[in-house]
Amino acid sequence: MVGSIEVCSNGAVSHNGGLEEKLDEFRRILGKSDGDLLRIVGVGAGAWGSVFAALLQDSYGRFRDKVQIRIWRRGGRTVDRATAEHLFEVINSREDVLRRLIRRCAYLKYVEARLGDRILYADEILKDGFCLNMVDTPLCPMKVVTNLQEAVWDADIVINGLPSTETREVFEEIRNYWKERISPPIIISLSKGIEAALDPVPHIITPTQMISRATGVPKENILYLGGPNIASEIYNKEYANARICGAEKWRISLAKFLRQPHFIVWDNSDLVTHEVMGGLKNVYAIGAGMVASLTNESATSKSVYFAHCTSEMIFITHLLTEEPEKLAGPLLADTYVTLLKGRNAWYGQMIAKGELSLDMGDSISGKGMIQGVSAVGAFFELLSQSSLSVLHPNEKKPVAPVELCPILKTLYKILIKREQDSRAILEALRDERLNDPRERIEIAQSHAFYKPSLLGQP
């Protein structure tokens, strides 16, 4: 097949040779016959979930006789007047978007909403390519479904774009719609965060574990995808990479299917480390935002914070996994970009500036769920259990693991207990008793603290 050149919905020119061959190859792997659509559905329409579905739509949506790509979000969510007015400005600043809406007879409703004569809903603007959490970045038009059963019952691939705090509830509902399935779907989770469980022993529950327990889908069919990705930048064709992690059965073929010229996907077997790091980076990104704000973007202060928080991340992953993937390459880059520009870092900045209050909760209009807040509570609760005690390297006595994580402790006091304000994060960094981060890393790499029970293993 001769490659074609097309203009994408974001205005970029794309050389699309070979896409149909990749689609056909993946269909063959799944055993799809002619006329049997490959059905892909995104569950959850936050920024990353919407962009991920839009990337697939841009690449494969034209092959309508071979693939169907849809996204589910709850119906009934209204767009407030301020957002409607801003959305109107975005539309009129982009000639390609304006022309598209006029051609689809969809422009008038945005005019009426700006004037206050009409209420817009999140699901209807998503159909036009606007994610409520990211209206400044228009996406391609999407096929949106608000009925969960209709969306998932016959899906071959389900993309979990839900926050970790909503994953269990939604997939428990999905289980009811899959009771008569002959073969399980493939599930790709984009969710970052964990839950802590204390019975029968303290352990974490990651989003992929939540999905497996909620649905009964075999673990080999559930994968995690993450990387140094800012959703809006990826859709605007900024070069990026990611890893899809899980069992070999699907990850290699999925990596090839998902790979694009500007979005390189590699495969990796270490699902646990990548998924836990996905939750941890959001925890420490909030603190990074606070440090940036409180020090007027001091590069020195931010680098000191980076050294200490990454050492805590390494320590925590070595508690969970005997031989975790090293915090290097894409894993380190993912942490770096999240601390630099993610929504959790933005949240930390706004809290430190006093422009947001903790009383406003962790679901912020225009940003979505700030997943790092609940993750702070979960990791602290888990690592403060005395039954997991480790030997303190200096004091030579048993302590809860959290005692070796002063930044995590401070974030808990700020965000969850509300005993201190954001300036406490700087006090924690400037504590003269703070050890060299290298010592924490050496302790972690000694394997002396590995706790397999934290993953629910005997």
Q: Which residues are catalytic?
A: 281
Closest CA to 375 of 201, 231, 212, 191: 191
Question: CA Rg, the chain, in Å?
Answer: 23
What's the rounded Cα separation, in Å, for the pair 218 and 185? 9
Write down the residue that tokens 């959490």 correspond to. Answer: 133
Are residues 366 and 347 in contact, defined by beta-carbon separation less than 8 angstroms?
no
**Alpha-carbon distance 303 to 297, whole Å?**
11
Full DSSP string of 70-104 = EEE--S-PBPPHHHHHHHHHHHHH-HHHHHHHHHT
Exposure pattern of 271-305 as b/e (b: 16+ CB <10 Å)?
bbbbbbbbbbbbbbbbbbbbbbbbbeeeeebbebb
Q: How far apart are the first and last CA of the chain?
A: 53
Pairing verdict, β 157-160 and 144-145: unpaired
Element (H, E) at 7: strand 5-7
The residue assigned the tokens 């031989």 is 323
Place of tokens 């924690």: 428
Residues facing 391 on adjacent strands: 398
